[in-house]
Structure 1
Amino acid sequence: MQFLRSAYERFSTLIHELIKFGLVGAIAFVIDFGGSNLLTFGVGLGPIKSKVISTIVAATFAYVGNRFWTYRHRQQSGLAREYVLFFVLNGIALIPPMITIGFRTYSLGMHDLLSYNIAQAVGVAIGTLFRLWSYKKWVFLAAPELTEQSADGAGVRPHPEVKAQADPLTTR
């Protein structure tokens, strides 16, 4: 039991980030899939154009949700910088769905709803792995570790509040 408690304490920040990232991502997923399907099959836009438009709307929602909820405890490096970088990374993460949708549409000649959504799902899954890694690495940076002088004069140690927020994968 003590092992589970210490593991949770060590990884609690990561666990909470993953849950919040997943919730924001799930809502963005619905916005992306629903919008893409609506634009492709309801409005009649091309499948690639529909995917780009729905991704832009979903990414805007995801940025706001991740910045102000999932990663609110992380350092802000300037909203303009984060926003631009966030969308550049989302543009890169859009490549896998565009490839799978394009292959399904133009190489296989499939134009049905089911194959469209399967192609979207495969591409989005690949893109999501990239986004999870890249957001933490370049957009929502870890808070800098503050230090305080120890009472016994032994030297500088991490500030207790910041240590609790440190990324457990990089904390030793």
Structure 2
Amino acid sequence: MSGRQTVQSRLGSLYREVAKFGAVGGAGVLVNLGVFNLVRHSTGLQTVRAGIIATAVSILFNYIGFRYFTYRDRDRSSRSKELGLFLGFSAVGLVIENGVLYVATYGFGWDSSLQSNIFKFAGIGVATLFRFWSYRTWVFKALPAREVAEQAESILASAEADTDSAPHSRTTQ
């Protein structure tokens, strides 16, 4: 593959990853804002507390989407480590996201329903940049090309061995 083809291939791969991340993230934003408004208006909790609950619910939703859709082809060898890293980086994102909401609500006194939703959304946007970088770099790491090739070869070898050792049926008349 030429250098230009390699660059085009990598850009295409990154584009697909960003699109899948965006699809899951977009659905997660809807979950986040929906839960935020539901909790805020039905329970009377303070704005930032409602934001934290909504973020926690969307973190769970997003993990499922990222693991089984966006990064389903990534290394799965250590799920407990992956989940721990995901939760750790998500906690940082939670602080970023709700920190923006906190500053708007308590720093500037912007606490109307519209203002809270605007700053909740802005916080999600800032935190998303951090989450995209951290998830792809540390949580859902790509398998090195050599390991992928070895896995493919072992799958093919075991498939060939299965077909070679399968009993051949003959019909006699």
TM interval, shorter chain, is: 0.7 to 0.9
| Residue-by-residue CA offset, 1:6-50 (whole Å, 9 max, x unaligned) | 754332221211111000000000000111111112321111211
Aligned length: 150
- SS of the residue aligned with 2:144? coil
1:24–1:62: 8 Å Cα contact kept in structure 2?
A: yes
Cα shift at 1:161: 9.3
- CA distance in structure 2 between the aligned counterparts of 1:89 and 1:6, rounded to whole angstroms: 31
- CA distance in structure 2 between the aligned counterparts of 1:59 and 1:52, rounded to whole angstroms: 10
| Residue-by-residue CA offset, 1:76-106 (whole Å, 9 max, x unaligned) | 2422111121111011011222222112222
- CA distance in structure 1 between the aligned counterparts of 2:10 and 2:151, rounded to whole angstroms: 14
**Is the deviation greater in 89-98 or in 15-24?**
89-98
1:74–1:140: 8 Å Cα contact kept in structure 2?
A: yes
Instruction: Determine the structure 2 residue equivalent to 1:112.
Output: 112
Instruction: Determine the structure 2 residue equivalent to 1:79.
Output: 79
Change beyond 3 A, Cα 1:110–1:11: closer
Instruction: Determine the structure 1 residue equivalent to 2:128.
Output: 128
1:17–1:70: 8 Å Cα contact kept in structure 2?
A: yes
Cα shift at 1:160: 10
Higher helix share: 2
Instruction: Determine the structure 2 residue equivalent to 1:37.
Output: 37
Structure 1, unmatched stretches of 5+, are 148-157, 163-172
- Following TM superposition, the consecutive aligned residue runs of length 4 or more in structure 1 with deviations greater than 6 angstroms are none
Matched, 1:19 2:33: no
Kindly report the root-mean-square deviation, in angstroms, between the aligned alpha carbons of the 2 structures.
Answer: 2.4
1:76–1:141: 8 Å Cα contact kept in structure 2?
A: no
- CA distance in structure 2 between the aligned counterparts of 1:125 and 1:50, rounded to whole angstroms: 18
1:25–1:62: 8 Å Cα contact kept in structure 2?
A: yes
State, as a whole percentage, how many aligned pairs show the same letter.
32
- SS of the residue aligned with 1:76? coil
Cα shift at 1:146: 1.5
Q: Which residue type is aligned with residue 72 of structure 1?
A: R
Please give the residue correspondences for 1:1-172 in structure 2 after superposition, counting only pairs within 5 Å: 8-146=8-146, 159=149
Q: Which residue type is aligned with residue 107 of structure 2?
A: S
Normalized against structure 1, the TM-score is what? 0.77
Instruction: Specify the structure having the higher radius of gyration (Cα).
Output: 2
- SS of the residue aligned with 1:94? helix
Normalized against structure 2, the TM-score is what? 0.77
- CA distance in structure 2 between the aligned counterparts of 1:159 and 1:63, rounded to whole angstroms: 27
